[in-house]
Structure 1
Amino acid sequence: MDFPTIIPKQRKAFFLFLNLSFLLLISFYIISTSSSSDKYSIKNPILHETNVNSEENCTHVRKFADHTSKCEYVRSNSGCRGKGYLNYLEIFYCTCGNLPSLGYFLLLQWLVILFYVLGNTTAEYFCPCVESLSRVLKLSPTIAGTTLLPLGNGANDVFASIISFTRSNDADVGLNSVLGGALFICCFVVGIVSISISSRRITVDKRNFVRDVLFFLFVLGCLLMIIIFGKVNIWFALCFASLYFIYIALVSVMHLFCHKEDKMVINPLVVDEFGTTGIPLLGYVDEEKGPISEKDQESRIRWLNIDKSSCFYLSLFLYFLELPLSLPRKLTIPVVFEENWSKPFATISATLAPILLAALCVKLGEIDDFRTHLAIYLTSLLVGIILGTMALVFTKKSSPPKTFLFPWLAGGFLMSITWTYVIVEELVSLLVAFGDILGISPSILGLTVLAWGNSVGDLISNLAMALRGGADGAQVALSGCYAGPLFNTLMGLGLSLVFAAWEDYPTSYPIPKDSDLYETVGFLMGGLLWALVILPKRNMQLDKSLGVGLLAIYFCFLFLRLVKGVGLLKFGT
């Protein structure tokens, strides 16, 4: 997930706002926790009965009228404690019990921060590691485009799905977030791209398009069978996930035997320190006057250099203000890129990364034994000291390492995945809490908020590539609109089903009985079939007829789901 391009001053202000908000939220949480350390006792017999009958969820919290009873219920019911690191229901009903508006504001603000950190981690750490790994491993463009590139774009969806199935015990969120994101990209994003470039009469490659759409339809057919049967065993889950390797093989065969090597020159997209995706620009850009001349740039620079000493303390203050969100990742994710190289940070990250991995393993394994804790942490500390010492001895201060680059990239890749997993786990926990607070099914939030948040980067990057990259850019954008959701469906849902079925082995894993899933898959298939019919009839030209039809399909689906979500329609339930 990426953020839209913002001019530098706005970007800096927004970044400072997020860091300041993070500091205020953390301070509020610490103060409120320390001031309300006393626990509520269960005095209401109805409350106790409800607690016994609903330990797996927190759906009954809205039955109580006053915030005191809700707070007692939340604190006494283990099902109200999410899988994340914070208990959001306790914050909302206990800490902000008398002020629900404040509770909504704080949780929404935290939601924005989580989405930002998630997108920034992917853009600043994960994607550069993926790109560098493809070069170090000398992967062909075709293989890299069907493996590492979708992994970089779809890591958020994959982890959201896995966490929903295995950690949050709410598979509805995972299913709806992946399928909702696929529907958003295949209908809304493709529709917007088609309408935006319709006047340019750009055509796309027919064989690649037909291959991707037909394979995606086949995958959705298999998924529909799993939903209809209502359960899946470990072997069928493995077969479903392995379909992605069949897709890679098919792409490779077509690339080797059906196509000559394409040589495309596309304006590359750049990702800056904010996580912004955009087209590289020469110099600064003024919103009204366009590009600024070098003379004007020099005059502005001279003006900015006036009285540097008076700005020193302000710059130092702003620097420390930016640290809360960026420093933890800098201290644990190794970075070996020329523009961001820092030997002290590289040494510290090599030391602390094993400790963070150990902490995550302890949490995931739910290990309670003190001796096991101590052994894991001491081992991780020893490994960290060894890696940190090697980084200190064998790296230069002036430039990143040139040899043995793969271990550094692998470490950065692993730690980027670790941070992405932690953030997505917290994000899913927050969305589930929102569902309990608002009385909305978490699957609706997964279909909308989580799907949109994880897919807005695809909209921005694919639209920018189509508008600025010419015919080749439009081809890459359209291919990404189908290859990305295909990867998310097979790897995200596929791996989720594998892990869930493995936990229930030798019995089968039960798929949630949600009739709305049939609608989601049906509308997604409808969008794919519409594109499959319209594009060949239009001689593979992206035009308004394709875009308007896809947008109509998406908005019809969204209207139907939202109307059913608020209870106006109840058929099929």
Structure 2
Amino acid sequence: MDLLYTHSDEGLDIVLTYLYSNQITTVHQTSSGKALNCPVAPETQEPQRPQVHCVTGSLCAADRCAFVKSTPDCSMEDGFINYLHVAFCLLPPNLTPLTITLYVLHYQSLIVSSLFLLSFCPNLSAISTSLHLTHNVAGVTFLALGNGAPDIFSAVAAFSHPHTAGLAVGALFGAGIFVTTVVAGGVALVKPFAVASRPFLRDVIFYMVAVFWTFVMLFRGTTTLGETLGTHSYTHTHRLMYTRIFLRDQDHNTCVLVCVSESEYRPLLPYSESTSQILLSSLNPVDNRKWRRKSWSWRVLKLLKTPLEVLLLLCIPVVDPDKEDKNWRRPLNCLHLITAPLMCVLIFQSGIYGEYMIQGQFPLWLLTLLLGLFLSSIVFCTTTNDCPPRYHPLFALLGFVVSAVLISAAASEVVSLLHMLGVVLSLSNTVLGLTLLAWGNSIGDCFSDITIARQGYPRMAISACFGGIIFNMLFGVGLGCLVQMLKTHSYVQFESEGLLTWILAGSLGLSLVLSFVIVPLCRFHLGRAYGIFLLVFYVIFLVIALLTEFGKIFIV
């Protein structure tokens, strides 16, 4: 509000001019304090400032840095790197294409890191075994959360701010369309088969209800605590039904598909290694025998992954119940008691606890380091190299927590990075969510499900297509909204991207309805024609979505 004072020549009238968002109200006041025939603006109402969105396309290069710094919609508080500040303030405008290229490569590395963290999912199996959980309960809880961790944490990170909520909506709906069309179509093309009628219809119906439920929340623009808790209960109901049928024919969990370890070579005669040898061998991710018989391309890829693998081996303890010694590595596990808690403190919530001072005097990270050293010394002095202690399963819980924190941090960086790309390229968050974020989170499902189909298990692959995305959508939306409610103590507001959101939800619903009608008409036989139909459907959807984004399709 700007307040302009003007005084007349006689000194009797004072003109007070208020500017309220292009509306001017003038109050003439005499020296006696009486108003003269002019409406008075209510004193209790504050002027509503129009929300300024983070759009820099119409600004010149010199003004973009100041705009990014002063606009709340451009803030990036949940990431380690302020990508907008780097793009518009640190680098010159002529390097924008190079900046975009480097950010895309960084985005790919974050996606690969998130997928690689899933290789530590033996901890989930170890936790369920230690708690004596049934396969049904383990599938509903730990294993489902482990397989869908990238999608769920990306949704939670996106829902943390209103200006990135479109990423979550686009990613969850976009991943649903991608998996139910491209992945399911690829399975049908690779291995035509007859799908089990009852499980297929059950999954399609459950997913249609989930899509409709989410669509209603988007249409209303808000959600309540009851609806959020309802999504969780609905998710667990489906997962319980899913695991009861799936595990009837399958004794091992789905996580084994990702966690199949490389070929083990055991000596015929056991020998005792020293503590230093155990530590060095535990931190070496390269198998010498496998290295010699692999191609040069595999070796190059392995060299690129080795630094990340060594870092994760240093920070994440892994308990494997399928191994004879449960993967007990005494010196490395003692080191984990120092590095794992310290990693959580430095990484959680974008490192805000790394600078936290207890009572303003003692840093939290130093206290964590001292406690880790104390526990590590006790474990090292009370255990041996050959026999794991009785509390060894607790390391699985520690490894699961560290993996979740790292995946959450990677998801926050992905969301911040995609938000920056949307600002630079003038793209909406929804279209970035249904393309880059959805593709990145679903690429692992695509490869694993098609590989399963090639191995002769197409029914398992098609069940995984529907079972995973139902859990990810409902749990991602529910958990993201619940976390936001706990932070703000109010309802979650959704800002719709307009026509694009309705096209996204409508296309997903239409694909499910068509599958619900076509598959029974084909007597539940999924052939190559059905696979081609699904792929064509996805291409048409993607073209329509992009045309809508660039203004070629609009509502008059």
- How would you bin the TM-score normalised by the shorter chain? 0.7 to 0.9
How many residues align? The count is: 472
Q: Which moved more, 1:481-490 or 1:381-390?
A: 381-390
Residue number in structure 1 paired with 2:143: 149
1:486 to 450, 467, 470: 470
Kindly report which structure 2 residues correspond to 1:279-428, keeping only aligned pairs within 5 A, or say none. Answer: 324-337=307-320, 342-361=329-348, 363=350, 370-372=357-359, 374=362, 376-398=364-386, 401=388, 403-428=390-415
Q: Which moved more, 1:380-389 or 1:458-467?
A: 380-389
Instruction: For residues 243-301 of structure 1, give each alpha carbon's deviation from its aligned partner in whole angstroms, at most 9, with x where no partner exists.
Output: 1122244446x65xxx9943679997454789xxxxx899xxxxxxxxxxxxxxxxx98
* Equivalent pair of 1:173/1:443 in contact (CA under 8 Å): yes
Query: What's the secondary structure of 2:482's corresponding residue?
Result: helix
* Equivalent pair of 1:158/1:488 in contact (CA under 8 Å): yes
Question: Equivalents in 2 of 1:467, 1:452: separation in Å?
Answer: 21
* Equivalent pair of 2:139/2:239 in contact (CA under 8 Å): no
* Equivalent pair of 1:530/1:550 in contact (CA under 8 Å): no
Q: Please report the TM-score for the alignment, with normalisation by the length of structure 1.
A: 0.73
1:518 to 502, 523, 526: 502
Rate the CA distance shift 1:395–1:116 in 2: closer, same or farther, 3 A. farther
**AA partner of residue 237 (structure 2):** I
* Equivalent pair of 2:232/2:478 in contact (CA under 8 Å): yes
Residue number in structure 1 paired with 2:429: 442
Q: Which has the larger radius of gyration?
A: 2
Residue number in structure 1 paired with 2:28: none
Q: Does 1:467 align with 2:443?
A: no
Question: Equivalents in 2 of 1:566, 1:520: separation in Å?
Answer: 15
Kindly report which structure 2 residues correspond to 1:245-256, keeping only aligned pairs within 5 A, or say none. Answer: 245-251=236-242, 255=245
Rate the CA distance shift 1:409–1:394 in 2: closer, same or farther, 3 A. farther
Rate the CA distance shift 1:437–1:340 in 2: closer, same or farther, 3 A. farther
Residue number in structure 2 paired with 1:71: 65
**AA partner of residue 186 (structure 2):** I
Rate the CA distance shift 1:69–1:360 in 2: closer, same or farther, 3 A. same
Q: Does 1:112 align with 2:96?
A: no
Residue number in structure 2 paired with 1:568: 552
Shift of 1:118: 1.5
Kindly report which structure 2 residues correspond to 1:230-241, keeping only aligned pairs within 5 A, or say none. Answer: 230-241=221-232
Residue number in structure 2 paired with 1:296: none
Question: Equivalents in 2 of 1:57, 1:273: separation in Å?
Answer: 48
Question: Equivalents in 2 of 1:135, 1:88: separation in Å?
Answer: 42
1:476 to 460, 474, 484: 460
* Equivalent pair of 1:187/1:553 in contact (CA under 8 Å): yes
1:161 to 155, 172, 180: 155
Residue number in structure 2 paired with 1:178: 172
Query: What's the secondary structure of 1:335's corresponding residue?
Result: coil
Rate the CA distance shift 1:364–1:517 in 2: closer, same or farther, 3 A. farther
Question: Equivalents in 2 of 1:421, 1:260: separation in Å?
Answer: 29
Residue number in structure 2 paired with 1:85: 80
Question: Equivalents in 1 of 2:250, 2:241: separation in Å?
Answer: 21
Rate the CA distance shift 1:391–1:65 in 2: closer, same or farther, 3 A. same
Question: Equivalents in 2 of 1:302, 1:207: separation in Å?
Answer: 44
Residue number in structure 2 paired with 1:99: 95
Instruction: For residues 464-523 of structure 1, give each alpha carbon's deviation from its aligned partner in whole angstroms, at most 9, with x where no partner exists.
Output: 10111x2xx112111110110000011111111222233343x42212223322222221
Instruction: For residues 33-68 of structure 1, give each alpha carbon's deviation from its aligned partner in whole angstroms, at most 9, with x where no partner exists.
Output: xxxxxxxxxxxxxxxxxxxx8997532x332223x4
RMSD: 3.6
**AA partner of residue 95 (structure 2):** L
Instruction: For residues 110-162 of structure 1, give each alpha carbon's deviation from its aligned partner in whole angstroms, at most 9, with x where no partner exists.
Output: 1222122111112x22x222233333334444444444333222100100000
What 5-or-longer segments of structure 1 have no aligned partner?
Answer: 1-52, 275-279, 283-299, 306-314
Question: Equivalents in 1 of 2:291, 2:487: separation in Å?
Answer: 64
1:219 to 210, 225, 236: 210
**AA partner of residue 338 (structure 2):** T
Shift of 1:78: 5.4
Question: Equivalents in 2 of 1:116, 1:132: separation in Å?
Answer: 24
Rate the CA distance shift 1:245–1:447 in 2: closer, same or farther, 3 A. same
